[in-house]
Amino acid sequence: MRIEVRPSSAQDLPRLAEIESVSEYSAHWGEKGLSEEMARTDGIVLTVLADGAPAGFAAGRAVAGCASLYDVAVAPENRRAGLGGALVRAFAAAAARAGCGMIELEVNASNAPALRLYEKCGFAVVGRRPKFYNLTDDAILMDMELR
């Protein structure tokens, strides 16, 4: 499989919204939310292509020297093929180009695949918010310093 990551475009939006709609832990941006995020001067929205077709995205912001990674979603049929890692690495590179020295994120404690991905990419757990999601699931706070 050929993997490529690039800035998202308006043409990607229908597929990205479709991928997000089946992602259990996604922020549920929808086409409108992703489009608005793409239009922000501090927004970073990236699409990963698998053999030329949109297969996932990462979305976040770079503000005042720190980037926040809000969402990483990969189509179910493309999971466990390295696309999530490619997105996180590309997000980190974009954040560094924007002058950021670190990336922060929060992830549902029950989302084991995401926790493994972020740890593998170099994030470290820095905190926990008890019962943050729906008053049941904890949020795990993670940071990664950029070099």
Domains observed in the chain = 3-105 (3.40.630.30)
Q: What angle do CA 11, 13, 14 make, to 5 degrees?
A: 95
Q: Are 69 and 102 in contact (CB under 8 A)?
A: no
Residue 55 pLDDT: 97
Residue 134 pLDDT: 81
Residue 127 pLDDT: 96
Q: Are 20 and 59 in contact (CB under 8 A)?
A: no
- Residues identified as active-site: 106, 118
Q: With a cut of 50, list the residues of the chain below it in pLDDT.
A: none
